[in-house]
Amino acid sequence: MEFTKMHGLGNDFLVFYGEEDLPERVSELAIAWCNRYFGVGGDGLVFILPSEKADFRMRIINSDGTEAEQCGNAIRCVSKYVYDHGYTDKDRITIETLGAGVQRVSLQIEDGVVRTVRVDMGEPILDGLAVPTTLEGNPVLARPIEADGRRFEFTAVSMGNPHCVIYVDDAPNFDLGVWGPKLEVHPYFPRKINVEFATVTSRERVEMRVWERGAGPTLACGTGACATLVSSVLNGLTDRAAWIGLKGGDLFIEWDEQDNHVYMTGPAETVYKGNIEI
């Protein structure tokens, strides 16, 4: 199978095009191929598939073999891939996702190459049981949570996949590897959860680090950036448009007051192409 290695701010994937559906044993393949020592290396596999509802369909298999409902960095990579490879000549396309339905994408093109992608990420889900958490509330805002004797407060947001946003004093230097895996599997979260640790530096900027469900620490998370902006607005910490600073770079996130949709703008990059045997 031919793949293209791509990344969105360092959140990297093996992207496949031309299959009708997921290959057999895809979970095993993801674990093997995403291994950074014995495989290609990546945070997940992304398959661009035919869709009856949209221009393209996207499915994402995490590096641990589980399937993700949505991924903001992956959808930007998919958008760049299909345009740069000539599978569409439109600068506005639609992509079907597993957890967030059909999403609209605007491509910002320079010299025939996609430079940045703006994605309509849809409306955030704030009802606690729908995120899902085991807690009632709409929203679940600044709710206490304890892990291994330490107490945090979190806000729950779904962007088609579940997120738990926690504010800390110094997100860039926070001990992500200790607390991320403990909170990911907390009993409050029946389908596990993505954990964002955030520090607000101004009304227009938040520094964030992420522990992704099924992948661990990654350099960026698009849906996590969206969830962080929504959480920050709900907690009165930022304006409705702000830069989210991730380890791999910045994303610009807007939560539109008119249509209640969240919009994400950021880059996607192609690294190299290769072939791999099943």
Binding-site sequence positions for substrate: 11, 62, 72-73, 161, 194, 212-213, 222-223
Distance between CA atoms of 217 and 250, rounded to whole angstroms? 17
Cα–Cα distance between 61 and 46 in angstroms, integer? 7
Annotated binding residues: 11, 62, 72-73, 161, 194, 212-213, 222-223
Angle at 246 between CA 149 and CA 240, to 5 degrees: 95
Could you tell me how many helices (H) and strands (E) the chain has, helices first?
4, 18
User: Which is catalytic among the residues 34, 71, 77, 164?
Assistant: 71
- The whole-angstrom separation of Cα 167 and Cα 128 is 19
Which residues 6+ apart lie within 8 Å of 268 measured at CB?
Answer: 6, 7, 8, 73, 76, 77, 79, 80, 114, 116, 117
Beta bridge partners of 162: 158
CA distances from 265 to 2, 167, 173, 221, 222 (A): 28, 23, 25, 12, 9
Q: Which of the following is catalytic: 77, 164, 221, 226? A: 221
Positive/negative CA dihedral, 82, 88, 93, 97? negative
Q: What is the pairing mode between strands 216-218 and 150-158?
A: unpaired
Residue 200 has which token pair?
């607000």
Is 221 tagged catalytic? yes
- Catalytic annotation on 164? no
Q: Which amino acid is at 63?
A: S
**In this structure, are residues 141 and 153 in contact, taking their beta carbons and an 8 Å threshold?**
no
Catalytic residues: 71, 221
